[in-house]
Amino acid sequence: MLERRGAARFLCAAVLLTASWSRPAVLVAEADDAEPEVKATGIVTDIKPNLLTIKADGEESPFTFKFGEGFDKKVNDAIKGLLIPHRVQYTYKRDGDSMRLVSMKRQATKPAGTVTGVVVQNYGWWIAVKPTTGAPEGYALNYGEKNKNILAQFKELRAGDSVTLTFASDFERHRIKTLRKNEGSRSKSGCPR
């Protein structure tokens, strides 16, 4: 009878030990399957009902995220305050075939100044400019009679053109005050002059 108790104790100890060894392996496997959160920065290029498009720094194509009912309230509230072309810092996580925003924050930028850089893209009423140092930023037109000169130059700008501009920020966005296309910029065809 003592032999049975000893064998039973040994068997119980072996089962417990095996269970304690195997459980952490399962937890690690589950953690490896979870998608990591990705932190990024970029410029808001489009806002539609329940869709936010961001051109992330260094990416060729923009990313589109869903928001609204059924999504994180803090993220939804942060998106309500965004305008095109605000710079944002955000975190997302892959959720199947789509990406789900985890956090969203507007980045603080200079309220006024002079920038020399390369046009990343002309969106018709605003341009994304990559300065010689730093991240791309969005600069919008000021409409009105006194800005006809800037508007004419603005329409001719293409990706790759070197520009120098001065800007001042209002409560919405950076507004272009002066604009100059620099020598050596690309022509309309995209070829260097």
pTM of the model: 0.75
From first to last of its 193 residues, what are the pLDDT tens digits of the chain? 545 555 555 445 444 444 444 333 333 334 445 789 999 999 999 999 999 999 999 999 999 999 999 899 999 999 999 999 999 999 999 888 888 999 999 998 899 999 999 999 999 999 999 999 999 999 999 877 677 888 888 999 999 999 999 999 998 999 999 999 998 765 444 444 3
49 within 8 A of 67, measured Cβ to Cβ? no
